[in-house]
Structure 1
Amino acid sequence: MDTRTLGELLDTLGEPALRLLTAPAGLTTPVTEVLLYDAHAPFPDRAPGALLLAVGVRADAAAALVDEAAAARMVGLVVRGGDGSSSGQGPSSGQGPSSGQGPSSGHVLASEQGPSSPQGLADAADRARERGLALLTVDEDAAWHHVHLLLAGAVGARPSPAGGAALGDLFSLAGAVATAVGGATVIEDPRQRILAHSTIPGQPVDEPRRQGILGRQVPGSPENTEQYRVLFASQGPVRLPALSAEELPRLAVAVRAGGETLGSLWVVDDGTLAPDAEEALAQGASTAALLLLRARAAQELSRHMTGDLLRRLLDGTAEPATAAERLGLAPGTPVRVAAFALEGAAAGAPDGEQAALRLLDLVRLQCEARYGRHACVLVDGVVYALLPGAYGRAGERQRRLAEDIVRRAGQALRVPVRAGLGDVVPEVAEVRGSREDADLVLRVLGPEETVAAMEEVRARAVLLRLSELLGERRELAAGAWRDIMAYDAGHGTDYARTLVCWLDAGCDMARAARLLAVHPNTCRYRLRQARAQLGIDLDDPDERLVLWLQLRTLAGLRGANA
């Protein structure tokens, strides 16, 4: 099985991070993903195996959400508040009917919309039990984005071919080290992000460590920075004092391989650590180094394979159904392609290739933060990302994501970056067309534009494609426009520009004169002369249309800027 069960999720996180109120379908139910509830977005019709975080919903108003989640075949709902106890009864695990007793009077839900009554959580638990839905709680002061990171990370820690095996083993290692050393243990990467933590009953965890686990990130402070400096300067385990009254001391060791620092192990020291704690921690660091190297290699392999799959989708050589399955996209999922590129001279600079690779890393990082496992690839200096579910509000969010990536990449790389969003296509089989759209958008972006979607620049894109098509075919490039351009060149007249301004103005003489900055009578005279000298029929709408298109696309003339 490639997914975590509800029971494994609870075992991994433990209290107080996550508490179970009821699980009528049992604890062996698989959890495939963690979703954030958005009241302004359409509720998914089907999301089997999903765990839904009830953002902004009070417990006493959660009945409708419980019904929707059950109808979508979700595993459970997570609300905020309460201490997880019930009147002398444990949570129902699906082994029999509930005792009928809800949470104790200590249960209070605090949410974005205000606290609920104690009865609210009990009623929500009863409703969830009736609908076969698990109901869980997190602390009242927990930030939803931290809870999402914590749960999504735990779900993703299940062994999988894409490298999850190594990350999943890190949780087992943290538990083993905590048992051997005698204190609660976390494993961190070099950026102080918490990769895994132990859940051994009875081992104390202070508030700073608890907050770090909830946010998957060690809170930053000058004192913390100094402790990391001491730790990474040491060749073995070091004992570090408590930084505040609410914190316990630490025993820590750096995790290294071949001189490279891969992370660190930290143990809460409440004064009861094992006599050989330092030796046990050093042994744990050696094992952690192997697991982190394996995870890195597996992750890079997974990214390479996913990128290669997207490359073949973009050029039309991948089998769509198989590709969609490997990318984790349900059949019929709408998608669009986003293209990111360094601007002009930056792409051709001596270090342009290196900058493009850094751009790929930046795009992948932002997309993975938003969508989890994600497909990005660098092709001919352009970074392409496949964005799922792009209709309505999702499309607006994707545009904001592109704007954010362009801003961040420009700051990090110190060169301008542009982005184009292709049209939304109804399924993966049509990705190649969306990629062509995104490329076109990049080509037609104006000097002051950095991000645009195809629907915003469609007219420019169509004219660009028309100019290419007209220029490729002799019969389409021939016509009166060539005679007009030649006559202007030989006689010093301005008939072509006058015609374009008149046609751009919808054949309104006064507006055309304003575009030309001449008197309307001058404009009329030029048009009469053009008719007489060149024999063009401006009364024929078809001839006007073809002449306008050829002058705009092939001659490159354009109204006031012609």
Structure 2
Amino acid sequence: MNDIPPPVPAPARGGVSVDAVVRRLADALAPGPLCCGPGTGEIADVVIAEPGDPLDGVKGALVLAIGAREAEAAAMVTAAGAAGAVAVAVRAGDGELPAEVRAAAEGAGVTVLGLPQGLRWDRAESEIRAALAGPSGTFARDGDLFSLAQTVATLTHGVVSIEDGAHRTVAYAGSGDEADELRRRSILGRSCPEPYLELLRGLGVYQRVRSGEEVVEVDERPELGARRRLVIGINAGRRPLGTIWVQEGGRPLAAGAPDMLRGAARIAATQLVDHYFQGDAGARLASREELSHGLLTGRFEPRALAAHLGIDPAGGADVVAVDLREPDGTATAVRADARRAEAAGVMSVHAAALRDNALVVHACGQLYALLPTPGQAARPVEDDGPLVRWAEELVATLRRLTGTPAQAVVAGRAERLADIPAVKLRGHRALHLLARTPEAAVGTHSRLAPALLVRDALELIDREPRLRFPAVAALAARDREQGTDLARSLLLYLDGFGDVAAVARRLSVHPNTLRYRVRRAAALTGLDLDDPEHRLAATLQLRLELTERELADTTFPRD
């Protein structure tokens, strides 16, 4: 991998206030950090440095001054301030910051955070990055590699590191308490220790991960302080860009860990390209999201978007719609947005594991997975079983991680990219219908199509009074005035294909009582129950007239 150029730090972006980071550390640590200096500015990144290291690319960052004591710490504060850093974290000896460090902070205009002696540096960086990630504390939706690492750690139950082509750690996540000695040395030293690299080369691990999407297992090596690991290459075509490692922690890795790694590697490839070539991954991925939203909603010409999104312009896509079903009034908008960002990260990894170039888009309060199909496969799919099983696994994961009663609908296949908005719309409508059966995790458009047809018919009748059946409307009004139950009894009778015994049991009445109600309803409305058109018209009008509570005991249009 020596032909890959070294990474160049991306331009600094807006960040989080120094005060917010200090509050996060005070909440998470005991004791919290000591502070001196101005305490102002915004932190956009975290950079690890040791005495004597060049401080290039620290503008807008918080510098973790590892191994710096007193005079060395003061010198690093001065140098970091000159390089544009916002803050510097050093060790606080004996519960206070040295006088020379305080003086350097004031002189350089830099905030200094004094961290307690017992706090590991990797734990400190993890907490700081959590503060930078946003309200959720995890799953930040800024498109960076740390967000991806956190998602993979959650899905695999492991401790994750993402390395570039020079074996330097560029992102990591997972419980610091479960990290083995090898991972701690890799993070603090910013690269994989040479003895372990030599072992991996001897085992042919790097040769295997460069050749495709194979997930390679590396056994535990106690003598090197290394637990069992899985690794996959991050490749752009034939060009290797880096690797993703998942270390087994306090519990076994999830059964689906290899699939999650494959999905994550596909997502990470675009971000590592930015890492190498000075692109702003956050800005570019935001643009990709905007283009994906345009494809979903039909705002842009789809064939022109295909080249930008890396999908086959002659192909189509399967569409899966997801709603987290956030309970009304139980979460702030910020909290709901954080959960949706968390869900989008999880969904992106699952989708990328299933299909290359998969897209996940947020629209109308819901999430949509666009799963591209090549041109020759872009035809109606007869068996949606594989997608249903994928959606069931996704929903189970989302329910577990977000604590919401999430549901999904397999909306079907768009044979052409231009058909995606129409398929998205039916997924959106089917999700609304599926909400009536919260016990169902996943529905399909093909299964819900009859209910959607009736729903459309009811909406049309509601908009057009001339299409209504006035006598049936009058029957429902009469029930409300007189406290009778003729209309609902008639509807259940029609729904039950005239099975008097079964419907009477549902109503908890004698069969003769039900027969009387049906005869009385027919007499009041002029219905001819032997005429199929009368029965259909009465069923539609009754559904329009009865309230949701009155319809709760009916079977249709539940999934």
TM-score normalised over the length of structure 2? 0.49
Bigger relative contact order, structure 1 or 2 (CA pairs below 8 A, ≥6 apart): 2
Structure (1 or 2) with the larger CA radius of gyration? 1
TM-score normalised over the length of structure 1? 0.49
